[in-house]
Structure 1
Amino acid sequence: MKYSSENCLIKIEIVSDKNEFQIDVIDQGIGIPTDEQKFIFNRYFRAKNAILNQGTGIGLNILKSHLENLGGTISFVSEENKGSTFSINIPSKTTIN
């Protein structure tokens, strides 16, 4: 939400079946520059177009770590100035490592 303008729609889609839950968060924000997408889950990384927004660059790194502990994953597609879709997948039956 912090990377989207005030009146932009943020959509959350949740799908589940007997094997997993999938949560998609779809925004119309600033997007992530293509050449920086490979770093987005690195601790303290901030994309060049997000430097002026408040933040530390650790949120996605922490989220990814916790999801991996649950046997889950996070992925995304993004286009600069158009928005991003983050997809979280968590097995329905998880064992915490």
Structure 2
Amino acid sequence: MSLEAIKKVTETEQDTQTRKAEAAATAKKLVTDADKAGRELVESARREAEELVKGFMKDAEQRAAGHNEAVLAQAAASCDALRRSAEARLEEAAALIVRRVVNI
């Protein structure tokens, strides 16, 4: 092999090494950039999901408060009905107690 051919092979090998190093650096940067972009997308999706959950929770709390008020109103009405019924039979119950005590 001539000296010229050896120089040409050496230059080609060096050029190939340089290109490989550049390609590796470019690939590493692409991976880093893709990773960063992916993390940003995940973070953005997480924030959006948190906002959505907050909205759902607010709606659920409002519906629960409305349901709670309805249940309390119904319970109060039932208590009032029971109290009125008991008051209506109070004299009868007292008379029954007096009869049983006197008959003893």
Q: Which structure features the higher share of strand residues?
A: 1
Normalized against structure 1, the TM-score is what? 0.20
Higher relative contact order (CA 8 A, sep 6+): 1
Q: Which structure features the higher share of helix residues?
A: 2
Normalized against structure 2, the TM-score is what? 0.19
Q: Radius of gyration: which is bigger? A: 2
